[in-house]
Amino acid sequence: MSKLTSFKEFVKKNPKLLKPVKEGKMTWQKYYEMYDLYGEDHEVWKEYIGQKEVVEAAGTAATTASITDFLGWFKNVDLDGLQEGINSVSRVIGVLQDFGTKDSTTNTKSEYKPRPLYKHFED
């Protein structure tokens, strides 16, 4: 594999290198020369790629903070009140279902009309 293709793979692994180029602070030629002289593992790259660890650490801290916030919120939840609320909602839904079924059953049944006593089979 040539140096150029290995440099391209290095850039793909480290997308943080794009930002200084877009801002005009660095050029791809300078990056390639640094890569050619020092290689991938040199301290020179810490300035451009070293931010990666800082961002990852901040992301981990934010995730940990959000989990602790959620657990703190969950501790403050009144489970008895929550259960009562769920029971109330289920009762309301049950009542609404009863109204719906009563209306539909009365509409589908035809009323019973007894045949007169004096009338025989189609007389």
pLDDT in tens, 28-83: 888 888 888 888 888 888 888 875 443 454 455 556 667 888 777 777 778 888 88
11-25, 33-47, 99-113: the lowest-pLDDT one: 99-113
CA distance 1 to 16: 23
pLDDT of residue 54: 39
CA distance 114 to 8: 93
pLDDT of residue 20: 86
Domain end residue (candidates: 52, 75, 98) = 75
8 and 19 share one domain? yes
CA distance 108 to 25: 80
70 and 85 share one domain? no
Q: How many domains does the chain have?
A: 2
pLDDT exceeds cutoff 80 at 17: yes
Classify residue 49: in a domain, yes or no. yes
51 and 92 share one domain? no
Whole domain around residue 88: which residue ranges? 78-106
pLDDT of residue 121: 64
CA distance 54 to 49: 10
CA distance 62 to 68: 10
| Range 5-28 average pLDDT | 88
Dihedral sign (CA 11, 17, 18, 24): negative
Domain end residue (candidates: 35, 55, 75) = 75
Tokens, residue 89: 């909602």
| pTM, 2 dp | 0.40
Classify residue 118: in a domain, yes or no. no
13 and 60 share one domain? yes
61 and 91 share one domain? no
Classify residue 114: in a domain, yes or no. no
- Residues 35 and 21: beta-carbon distance below 8 Å: no
